[in-house]
Amino acid sequence: GAGVSQSPSNKVTEKGKDVELRCDPISGHTALYWYRQSLGQGLEFLIYFQGNSAPDKSGLPSDRFSAERTGGSVSTLTIQRTQQEDSAVYLCASSLEQGSNEKLFFGSGTQLSVL
Amino acid sequence: DAKTTQPPSMDCAEGRAANLPCNHSTISGNEYVYWYRQIHSQGPQYIIHGLKNNETNEMASLIITEDRKSSTLILPHATLRDTAVYYCIVRVMTSGSRLTFGEGTQLTVNP
């Protein structure tokens, strides 16, 4: 596909379990972002990857959250010991252009429900 | 990034122009105005952006006031599929600066 792909589209887990969310960016896009969106809320920035630079992790809400990007392509967001407040849609975006012309392309997100 | 203010909701008749305002009175000289929209259950979609000149593309037009303290996104002929939350974002033009999404405007296009 030509767009950003996220999997799974839906994930239901029990409180205390670990989850992994996957993002396949558009081929060739060097920048990758993770956001999350709680029900009825705006988007909250989590983490940003750009090429081989150190990621900007300043938006991660706690040390239970981590993300990696292997080979400059696929990214995995991991949430350990999930809590009910982690329930949200987790959105991934990638971009090619940098600076003022940067346009983010978003996936459809992973709906995470923590019971 | 400068804070933006948008009305929480607007209605528009199908086929008419939708004019969505955004106030960004504290915008800096190196900050661009970006518009994204989010249709229900989808990820946000880029619409348009500009610095100080008016911009137009296949989706919309962006009108930025001369003092750059406000802007208007114009959908010239709104359709039902344009019903979405529209986000106005101001952002510095350096690489890696995050998009900070506010509450946006819920535009409802009515038949």
Give pLDDT tens digits for A33-69: 999 999 878 899 999 998 888 899 999 999 999 999 9
Beta bridge partners of B6: none
- Mean pLDDT for the stretch of residues B37-51: 94
Q: Please name the residues between 64 and 103 in chain B that touch chain A, using a CB distance below 8 Å.
A: 87, 93-96, 98-103
Length in residues, chain B = 111
| 3-class DSSP string for chain A | CCCCEEECCEEEECCCCCEEEEEECCCCCCEEEEEEECCCCCEEEEEEEECCCCCECCCCCCCCEEEEEHHHCCEEEEECCCCHHHCEEEEEEEECCCHHHCCCEECCCEEEEEC
Which of A111, A37, A5 minimizes the C-alpha distance to B104? A37
Tokens matching residue A69: 């990007």
Residue A106 touches chain B, beta carbons under 8 Å: yes
Tokens matching residue B54: 């008016």
Q: Please name the residues between 52 and 81 in chain A that touch chain B, using a CB distance below 8 Å.
A: 53, 56, 59
Query: Which residues does chain B have within 8 Å of residue A100's beta carbon, measured at their own beta carbons?
Result: 32, 49, 51, 93
Q: Please name the residues between 20 and 39 in chain A that touch chain B, using a CB distance below 8 Å.
A: 31, 33, 35
Beta bridge partners of A20: A78
Pick from B42, B93, B103: which is nearest to A100 by CB?
Answer: B93
Query: Which residues does chain A have within 8 Å of residue B32's beta carbon, measured at their own beta carbons?
Result: 100
Is B95 in contact with A45 (Cβ distance < 8 A)? Answer: no
Residue A70 has pLDDT above 70, yes or no: yes
Nearest CA-CA distance, residue A29 and chain B, Å = 13
Give the model's pLDDT for residue B64.
Answer: 96
CB A41 within 8 A of CB A21: no
CB A52 within 8 A of CB A67: no
CB atoms within 10 A of CB B68: 19
Give pLDDT tens digits for B54-92: 999 999 999 999 999 999 999 999 999 999 999 999 987
Residue with tokens 């019903």, as numbered in its chain: B83
- Mean pLDDT for the stretch of residues A88-109: 88
